[in-house]
Amino acid sequence: MNAPFRICFVCTGNICRSPMAESVLRARLAEDGLDGRVEVDSAGTGGWHEGDGADPRTVAVLRAGGYETAHTARQFHASWFDHLDLVIALDSGHLRELRSLAPTAQDTAKIRLLRSYAADTADTGPTSRPRRASGHGLAGDLDVPDPYYGDFAGFEECLAMVETASDGLLAAVRATVAALAHDTDRHQARNPHPPREKESA
């Protein structure tokens, strides 16, 4: 059996935006029949809320939308890049921090901004890149704003942005998983039998 495709959403404290994105994508994957082939998680760039549940306002908007709400906050660590296929930042500040943590260029290439998937849903293949703003590619116009210090309406707006971007992300993940499965099938067709171990004399 193939290893699952692994995704981690990252925001600041892992109690507002990233748990929202995790819950929404999980629901989309289940609807699409991909939940067994894709694993989704979330974390924060800082550890201030480690062990806490999601912000009550996050829980409320998720519940109102019919999404899963169980969550325990934790901090992202550079060592996680090794087993992740996609690391999704919720804003350009997280994007910068994740890039500074990435041990290799290959790990840096795994990092995307969530709303980049809402910006150009036509480019959703396995090698698709997020839309870049002019300058240094830190597309601030693609941030999901932090609702923590605002009112409940900010959390509803945040969820709406996450839902829109998740449609494009789902299409990208679907294409990537299909391409990986095709490559595996082609390899197995070429090599239908595993190499036989040499018998001892």
Express each pLDDT in 185-198 by its tens digit.
Answer: 565 556 655 545 44
**Structural domain spans, the chain:** 5-190
Instruction: List the structure tokens of 1.
Output: 């059996």
How much is the pTM?
0.84
User: pLDDT of 102-113, one tens digit each?
Assistant: 999 999 999 999
Q: Which residues are catalytic?
A: 11, 17, 146
Check if CATH label 1.10.357.10 holds for domain 5-190: no
pLDDT in tens, 52-84: 999 999 999 999 999 999 999 999 999 999 999
Place of tokens 């495709």: 5
